[in-house]
């Protein structure tokens, strides 16, 4: 009976975590579903689509992804400052429109110049999302519901991203109608791009961000916020460099390693997104049990072990399962990290802080993607995982040393 009461109490706490989220924060979470659906397909499939379907080289594919990332880096900080100064809602809406147009364009052309321009547009949209999305959600959720809001946001995004990957096998049915693999991919990219665009309606239902009372600063970080942000972004940048070597390239890696097409690997990789989504719902309880910092270190450390094991797997099914567990554990920490950085800086500096942290994550991630693509193209399929393992271990150690003694305000 006592055990049952404890379980019911834990369930009650979990439900209460999400009932307290304000309505406008819920609108933002809902509005992220369709864009995440489209981007889930796009990021899983793009390395396979540009090479195997469109016939472009691995190096050019890696360059396109790198250009997208570098653009996001260059524009993240100014867009973060602009979001604080002129409105986070405006930035979010513009970012969604640009992202939708970019996805459609990728599906319609093989022209090198147009693809690079589309990559630039996609990078700008990422920067706008990163600068405004988290800051606006933190504002609408409030400090008391911040971690719960980011957990539910992660659930919606991860679930939608996983569902997006399952859109790829639908192309098999379209191909059977006589359209061919290329035209089937074009239909997929255009359809999901337009669906993403339709979510702008929900974003418009959210009120514009407001300057906190007594705020004198817009888009400029105080010394305290800069100090906290520096502690946060250094380990984040290191892990980003490691992740870029293989995460955006997994459909390509599975094809090179095992000959699996994107219609097979896409849904398998998408399964990890579904699991990540459900796992993210447990993060408020995880934060209460261990504290935010310990929870982040624990999940990332366990994930690193499975990352190291992925290229050592004897067959396709084992490799896929190992990678899914890795992604599941690594991304459990994502809403905790988002809540952490939003809690470390002043309310009126969140856009700028989001822009800076996004830039210093995206830059190393983009640079290493080209390195990973080149290694895979040269037949070195295990090395990206080995290099990433070392970098993850260094990142986790630095993060723990930076935050282990810090007392953070509790937020559910």
CA distances from 29 to 36, 94, 211, 365 (A): 11, 17, 22, 26
Please state, in angstroms and rounded to a whole number, the distance separating the CA atoms of residues 378 and 280.
Answer: 37
- The architecture of the domain spanning 20-206+219-403 is Up-down Bundle (1.20)
And the tokens for 356? 């800076």
Domain residues of the chain, as ranges? 20-206+219-403
Is the Cβ–Cβ distance between 341 and 229 less than 8 Å? yes
* pTM higher than 0.85: no
Which residue in the block uniquely carries the two structure tokens 């504002």?
139
Q: Which residue is associated with the tokens 């920490």?
A: 333
What is the rounded distance in angstroms from the CA atom of residue 219 to the CA atom of residue 350?
8
Q: Which of 56, 177, 46, 55 is nearest to 122 (CA)?
A: 46
Per-residue pLDDT of the chain (412 residues), as tens digits, is: 444 444 334 434 445 567 778 889 899 999 999 998 998 888 878 888 888 888 888 888 888 888 888 888 888 888 888 887 888 898 899 999 999 999 999 989 889 999 999 999 999 998 888 778 888 888 888 777 777 888 888 888 878 887 887 777 777 676 667 777 788 888 889 999 999 999 999 899 888 876 654 445 444 577 777 888 888 889 989 999 999 998 888 878 888 888 877 667 777 777 777 777 777 777 777 777 888 888 889 989 999 999 999 999 888 889 888 988 888 788 777 778 877 877 777 777 777 777 787 778 877 887 888 889 889 888 899 999 999 999 999 999 999 998 887 665 444 5
CA distance 92 to 234: 26
Classify burial at 402, counting beta carbons within 10 Å of its beta carbon; exposed 0-12, middle 13-18, buried 19 or more: middle
Distance from chain centroid for Cα 148: 17
End-to-end CA, the chain = 28
DSSP, res 315: S
Which one, of 29, 62, 68, 31, lies nearest residue 48 by Cα?
62
9 contacts: CB under 8 Å, gap ≥ 6? none
Instruction: Give me the helices (H) in 291-349, please.
Output: 292-309, 316-332, 334-344
């Amino acid at each position: 009976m006592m055990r049952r009461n404890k379980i019911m109490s834990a369930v009650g706490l979990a439900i209460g975590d999400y009932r307290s989220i304000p309505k406008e924060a819920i609108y933002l979470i809902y509005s992220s579903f369709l864009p995440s659906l489209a981007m889930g397909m796009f990021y899983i499939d793009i390395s396979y689509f540009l090479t195997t379907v469109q016939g472009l080289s691995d190096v050019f594919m890696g360059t396109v992804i790198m250009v997208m990332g570098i653009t996001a880096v260059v524009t993240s900080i100014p867009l973060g400052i602009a979001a604080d100064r002129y409105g986070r809602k405006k930035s979010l809406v513009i970012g969604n429109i640009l992202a939708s147009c970019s996805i459609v364009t990728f599906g319609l052309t093989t022209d090198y110049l147009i693809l690079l321009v589309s990559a630039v547009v996609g990078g700008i949209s990422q920067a706008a999302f990163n600068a405004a999305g988290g800051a606006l959600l933190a504002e609408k959720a409030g400090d008391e519901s911040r971690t719960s809001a980011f957990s539910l946001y992660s659930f919606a995004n991860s679930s939608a991203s996983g569902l997006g990957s399952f859109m790829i096998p639908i192309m098999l049915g379209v191909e059977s109608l006589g359209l061919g693999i290329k035209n089937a991919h074009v239909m997929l990219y255009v359809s999901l791009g337009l669906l993403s665009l339709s979510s702008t309606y929900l974003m418009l239902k959210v009120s514009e961000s407001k300057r906190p009372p007594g705020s004198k600063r817009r888009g400029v970080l105080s010394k305290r916020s800069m100090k906290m942000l520096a502690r946060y972004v250094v380990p984040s940048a290191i892990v980003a460099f490691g992740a870029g070597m293989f995460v955006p390239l997994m459909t390509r890696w599975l094809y090179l390693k095992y000959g699996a097409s994107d219609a097979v690997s896409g849904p398998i990789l998408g399964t990890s997104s579904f699991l990540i989504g459900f796992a993210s719902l447990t993060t408020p309880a995880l934060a209460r049990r261990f504290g935010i910092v310990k929870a982040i270190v624990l999940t990332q450390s366990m994930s690193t072990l499975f990352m190291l094991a992925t290229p050592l797997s004897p067959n396709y099914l084992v490799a896929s399962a190992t990678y899914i567990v890795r992604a599941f554990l690594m991304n459990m920490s994502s809403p905790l990290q988002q809540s952490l950085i939003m809690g470390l800086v002043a309310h009126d500096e969140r856009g700028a802080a989001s822009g800076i942290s996004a830039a210093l994550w995206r830059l190393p991630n983009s640079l290493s993607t080209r390195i990973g693509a080149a290694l895979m193209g040269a037949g070195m399929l295990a090395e990206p995982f080995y290099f990433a393992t070392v970098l993850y271990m260094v990142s986790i150690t630095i993060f723990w040393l930076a935050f282990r003694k810090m007392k953070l305000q509790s937020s559910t």
